[in-house]
Amino acid sequence: MNTRIAGLIAGVAAAGMVLVGCGESDPHAGHDHDHDGHADHADHGEHDEGGHDDGHGDMRSLGDVTIAGSTLAIELGGELIAGTELHVNIEHKEGDVPTAVRAWVGDEVGTGAIKSKADGADGVFHGHVEVPSELAEGAKLWLEIEDAAGERHTGSVAMN
């Protein structure tokens, strides 16, 4: 066999082994965290009352928030530590179902925060929210809902 061809075959085989990896699972495998609303969270399982484990650890209830006549139940996973990521589950309870939900941590205008669009269907949304590196005292979880007319409305909930 030609030395060049043998080298090429060995290189392709080595690259294949690198791509396969060692079998460790990544809890975020299958998710696209581009925070533009294109993330894939279809594999999070069923939602159950009182907090659940959707692959992101234990979720805790923050209660309900009503924004422009839409009441939403909010659950949060993760610890409120500057520079980390929180997981937010949002379930529609009453009123019009939002066509889109965006979330961020901080103040109402989102100073230093990244607004993340939550994925969802049928009134159940899930999002990954980055906590700003400089977290102001009294920071809240802010939600912006978009209604069928394209109008945006905001509301917040404390993260205690």
pLDDT digits (tens, 9 = 90+) for 42-95: 334 444 444 444 455 689 999 999 999 999 999 999 999 999 999 999 999 999
Give Cβ neighbours of residue 90 (< 8 Å, ≥ 6 apart). Answer: 72, 73, 74, 75, 101, 103, 118, 120, 124, 125, 126, 127, 143
Opening angle at CA 81, ends 77 and 85, nearest 5: 50
Give Cβ neighbours of residue 55 (< 8 Å, ≥ 6 apart). Answer: 27, 43, 44, 45
Position 34: which residue type? D
User: In the predicted model, what is the mean pLDDT of residues 92-111?
Assistant: 96
**The token pair that represents 134 in the structure block:** 């400089």
Q: How many helices (H) and strands (E) does the chain have?
A: 1, 8
Q: What percent of the chain has pLDDT over 70?
A: 64
Helices (H), ranges, the chain:
3-20
The pLDDT score that the predictor gives to residue 107 is: 94
Position 14: which residue type? A
Exposed e or buried b for every residue in 108-134, given b needs 16+ CB within 10 A?
eebeebebbbbbbeeebbbbbbbbbee
